[in-house]
Amino acid sequence: MTTITKTVRFDAAHILSNHKGLCKNLHGHSYRVDVSASGVEGGDGMVMDFKDLKRIVAETVCDKFDHAFIYCESSEPERDIAAAVERHGMRTAPLPCRSTAENLARHFFFLLEPLVPGLCAVKISEVLSLRIWSLKWFNNISIILLNKYFSIIITTEI
């Protein structure tokens, strides 16, 4: 038995209405989704063609959830926000449950299960991205930008 995994990423916004912490506010994440399938390698030496797995995951997950407002259909505040988002021509992605990472993984598994032979796992992670830029500016001043939220460091060479 062999397991293969395809990783995709997407960005989305959501809220967790009635949550006691900061996640009750509108915010977004960069998500990483790992989709794994297990099986016996066929005559072609593959469990499944990665091109097919990538297409299925892109059509089922990324095309529907990337840059969307993900919301729980049974939450009135979330439905209200989704309606406003849609009125302005922006993308929404309704869920039958709260938009926690755990529920997203479960939802994606159920969506993908009939499409991916041997589907055995869907793992979802919130991705923290740290980007570093170093720019040379005028008069030998270097600027380094660090981005989690936003930091700037300025140094001068004399």
Segment 31-81, tens digit of pLDDT: 999 999 999 888 888 899 999 999 999 999 999 999 999 999 999 999 999
Question: What was the pLDDT predicted at 153?
Answer: 43
In angstroms, the CA 61 to CA 108 distance is: 7
pLDDT at 40: 87
Ranges assigned E (strand) in 27-150: 27-39, 68-72, 92-95, 119-127, 131-136, 141-147
Contact 126/44 with Cβ under 8 angstroms?
A: no
Tracing tokens 């949550």 back to the chain, one arrives at 19
Q: Which bin fits 45, alpha (ψ -120 to 50), beta or left (φ > 0)?
A: left
Which of the two residues, 127 and 104, has the higher pLDDT score?
104
**pLDDT at residue 118 above 60?**
yes
- Do 5 and 34 meet the contact criterion of CB atoms below 8 Å apart? yes
Average confidence score pLDDT of the chain? 85
pLDDT score at 73: 97
What does pTM read for this prediction?
A: 0.79
